[in-house]
Amino acid sequence: MADTSTAGAPSGYFDAASTEAPHPAGRAALLEALDAGWADPARLYGPARATRLLLDRARARVAGVLGARPDEVSFTSSGTQAVHLAVLGGLQARRRAGRHLVVGAVEHSSVLHAAEEHERGGGEVTVVGVDRAGRVDPEEFAAALRPDTALACLQSANHEVGTVQPVAEAAEACRAAGVPLFVDAAQSLGRADVPPGWSFLAGSAHKWGGPAGVGVLAVRKGTRWRSPLPADEREGRRVPGFENVPAIAAAAAALEAYRADMAADAPRVSALVDRIRAEVARSVPDVEVVGDPVRRLPHLVTFSCLYVEGEALLTELDRLGFAVSSGSSCTADTLRPSHVLEAMGVLTHGNVRVSLPRGVAAADVDRFLGVLPAAVARLRETLRAGT
């Protein structure tokens, strides 16, 4: 495991699913690239060629982690932009095949918003439901594919409850039907193996300790894709705008290092999550731990507490020194119930998502489990006193 003593998340930071603290390898690469990679990589003079070399090297490093060819990898300005380009570009390229799109019910909001855009333009969308663990049934997913299906979308793992999706099975069904498959791998890249069978894949650098503002869009060779945006020469004509080469170099270095860290540390982190799942269920009355207990990401667990508002519990845990999130990471500001939890048929209020960062200390988890029952009890007592 790489050295985590010089930098990383502060004690009590349990919101790695939102963003990881900068990885030391990414930080070092960023500082170096700020001096060596500031020129326009599209030009032909010396500083530009040096910048281009940094960009090409970063592309090769990311491709190595993805199991892809370097020319299949493009860099975007965010994970959300990568998702939008993959979905809308995949649909655009297959308009002659049809205008039908298949998505899982618990996809990230960026996928669902792209699906809404497709519907507004006259397209049709089939949403495949999930079971109570948040997992898509691969047979139901396969049954949703039709002769006029232009694209199917299935995330690698869920961003709110950690459930791993049956991507390999879905990919096999898509291959048999001749339908390209988009995999949103934002929550699993760097933490787990990349699932096989994808046609398009997206990721986001700040999820693995790279800088914010860098996304990854991978388009498998031979897959038809057409940009939904005006033409631009950058990034193989897939992404418009001047590349942020220093940030891209940092993202690539962080991904390599983070993947190496997690390859060694994932079992330890997963055991800590197992402990949280068991202890919360034992020590907090009227609680539901959600998500698949086995087919899950190593670092993430969500539980819902009856008779407690999620926002109040987050505030109380913040006061006690813990940074966690509640509900949808994307729609929490709107105070809308999580579409993921709704689709699963579990409690949508009073929920807490704990996502452990790189190098998390077991003692921090012990401290969290020690203060949680009393925090929940205090809030319930306050609520009862106010009614």
Residue pair 153/104 in contact by the 8 Å Cβ criterion:
yes
User: Around Cβ 151, how many Cβ atoms within 10 Å?
Assistant: 31
User: Around Cβ 195, how many Cβ atoms within 10 Å?
Assistant: 23
DSSP state of 189: B
Residue pair 269/359 in contact by the 8 Å Cβ criterion:
no
Return all residues near 112 (Cβ < 8 A) that are at least 6 apart.
103, 339
Through-space distance between the first and last CA atoms of the chain, rounded to whole angstroms: 51
Of the listed 153, 174, 305, 330, which one is catalytic?
330
Residue 305 annotated to the active site: no
User: Around Cβ 126, how many Cβ atoms within 10 Å?
Assistant: 16
Phi and psi of 103, rounded to 5°? -135, 155
Residue pair 229/240 in contact by the 8 Å Cβ criterion:
yes
DSSP state of 332: G
Instruction: Identify the residue whose tokens are 């790189």.
Output: 358
247: left (phi over 0), alpha (psi -120 to 50) or beta: alpha
Pairing of strands 200-204, 181-184: parallel
Residues with a known catalytic role: 330
